[in-house]
Amino acid sequence: MKDGVNGVALGVFIFFFVAVTVMGFLAARWRKAENEHSLDEWGLGGRSFGTWVTWFLLGGDLYTAYTFVAVPAAIYAAGAAGFFAVPYTILVYPLIFTFLPRLWSVSHRHGYVTTSDFVRGRFGSKSLSLAVAVTGILATMPYIALQLVGIQAVLDVMGVGGGDSTNWFVKDLPLLIAFGVLAAYTYSSGLRAPALIAFVKDALIYIVIAVAIIYIPIKLGGFDDIFSKAGAAFAQTNPATGKPRGALVPPEAGQWTYATLALGSALALFMYPHSITATLSSRSREVIRRNTTILPLYSLMLGLLALLGFMAIAAGIKVTNGQLAIPQLFENMFPSWFAGVAFAAIGIGALVPAAIMSIAAANLFTRNIYRDFIKPDATPKQEAQVSKIVSLLVKVGALVFVLTMDKTVAINFQLLGGIWILQTFPALVGGLFTRWFHRWALLGGWAVGMIYGTVAAYGVASPTQKHFGGSAKEIPGIGEIGYIGLTAFVMNLVVTVVLTFVLKAVKAPEGVDETAADDYTVDSGDPGVQVELPPATAAESR
């Protein structure tokens, strides 16, 4: 938070931003299909993306401001505890390898666009489908909020607006700018925009990481120096809590938290509507499996970026808002022009996923709330129109989270979303493998998980605020501190199983399952699989 504007950095940043925005608008013409006004087209890019595009798209929403700002900031603040993001992403791949191909198959057989579509088809329950949809939309909002915080941090360090100003308008100006740009181009181009921009984003990010991870340690005297300085800093007592600020290695007491955060986040990730959107827009189920074998490269990047948190400490960066640590490190270490490139990488890296997330949440609303409950006879054009408007409303919701929650621990935004979205896991993943669960039991389990999770998270206080101050709490019955989301998930599961036994005993109506066993294993090219592509391109997928 230096005074004044860093002109060169800002210039470079604006250059990239304008370039990307232009690309975003042009993206509407990329691989254009015949029926451009349908929801499949706007919201799933015509479901025609191959391995590479899918990879960029998935990477685009997995590695976000969470990776570049929130995780290093968590490390900057507390050390080892923030590194749970690495095991989290490691655990994601075996998980998605197991269940996403089945989801792809059944979705392409029945034309499902969202997880709610699937749940409704599988369990014949509109209320369960509604619960999944509402959860998806709600949980996406804090995740988008995290992206906005990321963009804001970058603008803040460049001297646009910022924390020290007393004028509320100037203070929140970066946020409003970020919000405006995001809203405008998502609205016009749908999923094609972020898919295309993801290439630029990833290229920028790789360059920045490569440079940062080599250049900064050399400048700081190697990892030995970095870690010994960081260790010394963490050993100092925090006046607010009377305990050491953090540790280089999680102490015995923190290990439960570490493991549950990793596992809970991993289970939650592919429940998010946006992750599902990226998956379903791929061309074949093989594309997904192939992808899971190359995606871990992103995890490596995440680990390296996380280490930047230690470098910020070693470089003597002192910020009150931890989110500014990494942008400030870049500003101090890099020449202005390259700092601009790095800021652009972070900014675009937040923008792309935010766009994908809001599109996904909008799809969910349109398909499973608007069409199922409000206007069943909507035309494809109306659906696309409603989606566009809802994608704006979701961003407004995100803005509310930004303005009401503590921005200094941005990682909590994502963890809060995780608490909620994790509660859809039994219905979705359970449903992909078995029809044993009863639909009402799933609904009951979901309700218990949601209520417990929300109440527990509400009750967590932090030094800066009374409610929603953190995402970990004592696990009832075990006594260790663990991720609330995972605790709620276990409760959810127990309630679901118990209720299923009860409901089956009283012979409650099961609902109609419109899917068949072999729907879960088909691939593109099999009979009845919808591949919305001219044959020439579809043939490549085999």
Partner 1 sequence: MSDAPEVRPPVVTPVRVVIAVCLVAPFVAMLWVGSYAKTDPAFIGIPFFYWYQMLWVLISTALTMTAYKLWQRDQRARAALKGGASQ
User: Cα(350)–Cα(391) distance, rounded to whole angstroms?
Assistant: 16
Per-residue x/- track, 62-91, partner 1 (CB under 8 A): ------------------x--x--xx-xxx
Q: Could you say which of 115, 299, 328, 496 contacts partner 1 (CB under 8 A)?
A: 299
Q: Which amino acid is at 182?
A: L
Instruction: Give the pair of three-digit tokens for residue 135.
Output: 């959860």
Rule CB under 8 A: is residue 145 a binding residue for partner 1? no
DSSP H/E element including 192: helix 192-220
Q: How many CB atoms lie within 10 A of CB 389?
A: 13
* Phi and psi angles of residue 528, each rounded to the nearest 5 degrees, phi first: 85, 0
Q: Could you say which of 263, 360, 394, 488 contacts partner 1 (CB under 8 A)?
A: 263
| Residue of 304, 308, 339 whose CA lies nearest to 323 | 308
Rule CB under 8 A: is residue 223 a binding residue for partner 1? yes
* Phi and psi angles of residue 111, each rounded to the nearest 5 degrees, phi first: 70, 35
Rule CB under 8 A: is residue 225 a binding residue for partner 1? yes
- For the chain, the 3-state helix, strand and coil shares in percent, each to the nearest 5, are 75, 0, 25
Smallest separation (angstroms) from partner 1 to the CB of 294:
8
Write b or e for each residue in 153-169: b if 16 or more Cβ atoms lie within 10 A of its Cβ, otherwise e: bbbbbbbbbbeeeeeee
Rule CB under 8 A: is residue 329 a binding residue for partner 1? no
Smallest separation (angstroms) from partner 1 to the CB of 396:
37
Q: Could you say which of 27, 53, 103, 262 contacts partner 1 (CB under 8 A)?
A: 262
Smallest separation (angstroms) from partner 1 to the CB of 65:
21
| Residue of 359, 397, 471, 425 whose CA lies nearest to 131 | 425
Q: Could you say which of 300, 374, 396, 461 contacts partner 1 (CB under 8 A)?
A: 300
Smallest separation (angstroms) from partner 1 to the CB of 513:
12
By the 8 A CB rule, do 360 and 272 touch?
yes
Smallest separation (angstroms) from partner 1 to the CB of 203:
21
Write b or e for each residue in 489-506: b if 16 or more Cβ atoms lie within 10 A of its Cβ, otherwise e: bbbbbebbbebbeebeee
Segment contacting partner 1 by CB under 8 A, of 145-153, 276-284, 285-293, 471-479: 285-293
Count residues contacting partner 1 (CB under 8 A)?
42
Segment contacting partner 1 by CB under 8 A, of 165-173, 234-242, 258-266, 501-509: 258-266
By the 8 A CB rule, do 262 and 45 touch?
no
Q: Give Cα separations from 76 to 219, 321, 326 (angstroms).
A: 18, 11, 9
Rule CB under 8 A: is residue 250 a binding residue for partner 1? yes
Q: Of the two residues 73 and 113, which places its CB atom closer to partner 1 in the complex? A: 73
What is the total residue count of the chain? 542
Q: Which amino acid is at 401?
A: F
Q: Is 247 helix (H, G, I), strand (E, B) or coil?
A: strand
| Residue of 261, 265, 260, 286 whose CA lies nearest to 275 | 265
| Residue of 427, 474, 476, 461 whose CA lies nearest to 447 | 427
Segment contacting partner 1 by CB under 8 A, of 132-140, 238-246, 292-300, 332-340: 292-300
Segment contacting partner 1 by CB under 8 A, of 124-132, 196-204, 287-295, 390-398: 287-295
Partners of residue 49 on adjacent β-strands: 282
Rule CB under 8 A: is residue 447 a binding residue for partner 1? no
Segment contacting partner 1 by CB under 8 A, of 62-70, 152-160, 223-231, 407-415: 223-231
Rule CB under 8 A: is residue 219 a binding residue for partner 1? no
Which residues between 482 and 521 bind partner 1 (CB under 8 A)? 517-518, 520
Rule CB under 8 A: is residue 248 a binding residue for partner 1? yes
Smallest separation (angstroms) from partner 1 to the CB of 79:
10
Q: Of the two residues 79 and 397, which places its CB atom closer to partner 1 in the complex? A: 79
Instruction: Give the pair of three-digit tokens for residue 386.
Output: 């409603």
Smallest separation (angstroms) from partner 1 to the CB of 321:
25
Q: Which residues bind partner 1 (CB under 8 A)?
A: 80, 83, 86-87, 89-91, 93-94, 97-98, 222-227, 248-252, 255, 258-259, 262-263, 289-290, 292-294, 296-297, 299-300, 303-304, 307, 517-518, 520
